[in-house]
Structure 1
């Protein structure tokens, strides 16, 4: 059978295990692997905003099969149909006339008559309660309509080729989804919380490696509390705002160690933390007896002990200082700091810890802080997965998610984590406060800790799989609340 589909065609596209879904044939993205099979088309799925390669045999013309394939009653399917109908109306798509035919199964089927065409402008019906506060599904619909107001050229524009990980809700069809924008940090602004602390800054020189979501907020408060800070970041452009606020930029991690009395490190994961220490131009090259090193990266106890031994081997002092909190707490200076290791170094960092957080705890020997942090992260991850599943269940049952949150806030379930992430699920944008991939990393490390102690962690294992799936769907750099995407779809 000849392949008759072309760019711009509106179709019903079916993937294994899923009902036919309204879509459009669009140009293939350069960064999406092409299938080996012939007669495949790159399809944009309305409603879900996903993309995938589909064989022609699994596609049907949208208008010809519209009435036959409208038997899916789920809210997400209805949303997708609304989106394609809105797209048709807003772009004045030419809709062909159709006539009835009888097929071998003795039922009528509509076929396209190309010679008779007319233009219509479709005005889709509004669904009730479609404001942004009505629930997770309505928020997604608003986001989709914003996208569909673009003309065909917007769908095919080169800029869309650069979008980061927009993913399919289908396990074997990962595509690319754009990371939400992170509002710029006003490094020069001093929070009232910091003013109320009335910190007497230490006269020591401090270094800081890593200006990510947490690190940026920490350095901001160190500078605004009067500390002398030298910074380094893998992406040098992130340093400019901090230099303008009084920090000094260094060329390498070893340069920071050489210039500072005490250096903090806050990077993405244990492997990067090790690279900072053992890598080329790393920490060890300039470590000496008069230097202190504070590891703030979320790591496991074994990694922390390896770093401690290396630092101690050069005569330096080592402290692990794990943090509980996310972007808002880092910027406000209300983190909770869990420290373990060299007690004298803990004492020398007190003015810095005052600027960073509301409490700091000394937990004894190296490894204890990492273990405590993973225990708390396991609790948080399981809680978030439960919240996400509950919100997905409410949406599927036809309940308003805003009502769920309003009632939950009156019960013993109410806590800052549940309230904050529940609202994020309803809003649906998932701006990053704590990256989902960092939570998944901590769940994985928590499971490894359980293995070492021969303790079964079945809930943690199940939760880790949920977060892994959400990460694979392209939401690793989104906020942890985006785990909802996995539970909903």
Structure 2
């Protein structure tokens, strides 16, 4: 079998049996033995994740969400580097937003723009139809969602919780369990992008979980981001964010960066479908980065 490997300098053909495939990646310094034993075309061709997506930019198209398309009351937990501009964009779009942060002073700029304030996550969740959370790490995400006075205490049937923090799959599944136990819906939607894309409404959302909640919050994601992807079950969004981080960290050698059995299907069937949308741009993928 012959593989075409695209580099910035040339296109070169490599035999799948050549040892050259075992180099180029610090993530996988040696080609796993199961690749030597099985031809690549014996791998499953059905994608791991049921992928659906929409590429959208309200800034680029001049389109804004209609008020009657939006959930009535929106909560936002975590007014950090990312959460503040995301909540600001919702306010600028005319959304009814209630905010919370451990340090209340960080909510003041949002309050001056018209946001409401609640002193705890559970009170935000109790007063809102959909609550977003953008926290710094998995521990904070768990505590704010499931701890004392956590958002889960204010959730119930008909409500939704959308965690846009970057957390591992296990943490996301734990939060999902606590939220679903209240009768509410859960969606993980980690973002690709940093402060500037958050300010400009150019984030990319990697969503997974309750599909009906995804459909409900899609207009809100379109306000805060340029693209959104629905990836199926809870945990898939976190896994895809890991893949994106791997690519961004090793963009020059990403063709080899995740040659493990778990990620091959990403590489062959999923990642290449929408890789060009991500925040590190199109040049690396097109071979024009250098």
TM-score by length of 1: 0.39
**Cα distance 1:236–1:367, how it changes in 2: closer, same or farther (>3 A)?**
same
**Cα distance 1:454–1:345, how it changes in 2: closer, same or farther (>3 A)?**
closer
Residue 285 (structure 1) aligned with residue 153 (structure 2): yes
Give 1:348 deviation, angstroms: 0.6
8 A Cα contact 2:206 2:241, kept in partner? yes
Cα RMSD after superposing both structures: 2.5
Residue 248 (structure 1) aligned with residue 126 (structure 2): no
1:335 alignment partner in structure 2: 203
Give 1:198 deviation, angstroms: 2.2
The structure 1 residue matched to 2:99, chosen from 220, 231, 236, is 231
Residue 198 (structure 1) aligned with residue 61 (structure 2): no
Q: Which has the larger radius of gyration?
A: 1
Could you tell me which runs of 5 or more consecutive residues in structure 1 were left unpaired when the two chains were aligned. 1-191, 387-445, 456-489
- Structure 1: how far apart are the matches of 2:244 and 2:75? 28
The structure 1 residue matched to 2:226, chosen from 333, 336, 358, is 358
- Structure 2: how far apart are the matches of 1:347 and 1:381? 32
The structure 1 residue matched to 2:183, chosen from 315, 337, 340, is 315
- Structure 1: how far apart are the matches of 2:235 and 2:221? 19
Q: Secondary structure at the match of 2:250?
A: helix
Q: Secondary structure at the match of 2:188?
A: strand
- Structure 1: how far apart are the matches of 2:63 and 2:235? 30
Could you tell me which runs of 5 or more consecutive residues in structure 2 were left unpaired when the two chains were aligned. 1-57, 265-290
2:80 alignment partner in structure 1: 212
The structure 1 residue matched to 2:134, chosen from 245, 263, 266, is 266
Higher RCO structure, 1 or 2 (CA under 8 Å, sep 6+) = 2
- Structure 1: how far apart are the matches of 2:180 and 2:126? 16
**Cα distance 1:261–1:381, how it changes in 2: closer, same or farther (>3 A)?**
same
TM-score by length of 2: 0.65
Q: Secondary structure at the match of 1:315?
A: coil
Residues 16-95 of structure 1 mapped to structure 2, 5 A cutoff: none
**Cα distance 1:382–1:249, how it changes in 2: closer, same or farther (>3 A)?**
same
Q: Secondary structure at the match of 1:220?
A: helix
- Structure 2: how far apart are the matches of 1:230 and 1:374? 30
Q: How many residues align?
A: 202
